[in-house]
Structure 1
Amino acid sequence: MGRKECIERRKSLLQEQREKKEKAIVKKLLPFLKGNIATYVPIKGEVNVFDICLQKGNVYLPKMIENYELEFIPYSGNLVQGTFQTQEPIGTACDPNDLDVIIVPMVSFCGLHRKGYGKGYYDRYLQKTNALKIGVAFDVQEEEFEPQSHDVDMDILITESKLWRNE
């Protein structure tokens, strides 16, 4: 299945269903939210865990920079329009090793394997950090695929019904 179909499946969840599913995901995610937390402002129907992260630690948000690279900047309450319809923070990037947890959005997943939007921003960043890598998705985003050699697996992947952990 292509990325476009996966995104449409995710976006097709009704608001009431989505809220119920997100609550179940947040409940499983809560025990892992400590310290410096990198997360994202959801786009295109991504799982929304932004508000709960704000309550649990110091929040860092992604900013896309040149050469398909990503950096995380402390969230200060101010966001500006970024690339690909994203909202991005203003400020100075943190060191990747200062992050304790990184919540990673995805288009689809297969076990602990993640498929993103295809540009490799997160895969490149995840190679630079020792943070706990937690993917969040809805069950409808699960699909069979072979990961590519540059893909970085999640340490934990959470949906409304399951929690996979890299043991």
Structure 2
Amino acid sequence: MNKSKIRSKIIKLRKNYANKNFKINLEEFFSFLKTSKYNFKNLGGYYPSNFEIDDLEILKLSEKKNFKISLPIIKENNQMDFFKWSYNDPLKINKYGIPEPISSKKFYPDILLVPLVGYDNHLNRLGYGGGFYDRYIEKIEKIKKVIKIGLAFSYQKLKNVPVNHHDKKLDFIITEKEILK
């Protein structure tokens, strides 16, 4: 099955599961970060849309724990950068209907929370097909090491995600049932 057919199938499934209210265990998430060897101060998240895992509680709690948080802004030429954001800051709606920060302070996260459509045991991610995160990961990794954490529901797991040379692997995938490393 090709990527676009897989995407359609999983997004439809995600929509059907939307009222089930699956959630990432926040205590487990923060305990995982504490026990990992990574020292992070800056967290890049995303504004959930299209029935994605809601990471806003993670961002809100991170900010309360004095971490700096950020959200992406889609720029010209399908480029994306992260900008400082506070949970109570206003947002504007981009051309895709996704809220973005108004801030002009570019930000380089230490940990990047990545939305996904599908994933496999090899930490491969199937996104929406625009390549925004793959391009951003390639760009930021030339500047600094960033830990890439995919957030997904367990039912989004695939036997194998079809990959090409542009696709970037994740470091971890966290679902409501497990943490893949």
TM-score for both structures, normalised by structure 2: 0.81
- Structure-2 residue corresponding to 1:106: 116
Which structure 2 segments of 5+ residues have no match?
35-39
Q: Pick from 78, 84, 87 the counterpart of residue 90 of structure 2.
A: 78
Q: Which residue is 2:103 aligned to? A: 91
Change (3 A) 1:43 1:14: closer
Note the alpha carbon deviations across 1:98-134, whole angstroms, 9 max, x for none.
x111100001111200011101000010112321110
Report the AA paired with residue 163 of structure 2.
Answer: P
Superposition CA RMSD, Å:
1.7
Structure 1 residue runs of 5 or longer lacking an equivalent are none
One of 5, 9, 23 as aligned partner of 1:5: 9
Asked which structure has the greater CA Rg, the reply is: 2
Query: Identity of counterpart residues, as a percentage?
Result: 29
The one-letter amino acid paired with 2:11 is I
Deviation at 1:10? 1.1
Runs of 4+ in 1 over 4 A off after TM superposition: none
The TM-score with structure 1 as length reference comes to 0.87
Distance, in Å, in 1 between the alignment partners of 2:104 and 2:171 is 27
Give the equivalent residue in structure 2 for 1:62: 72
Taking the aligned partners of 1:59 and 1:161, their CA distance within structure 2 comes to: 25
1:1-167 to 2 correspondences below 5 Å: 1-15=5-19, 17-18=20-21, 21-24=22-25, 26-31=26-31, 32=33, 34-56=40-62, 57-76=67-86, 77-96=89-108, 99-111=109-121, 112-129=123-140, 130-143=145-158, 144-165=160-181
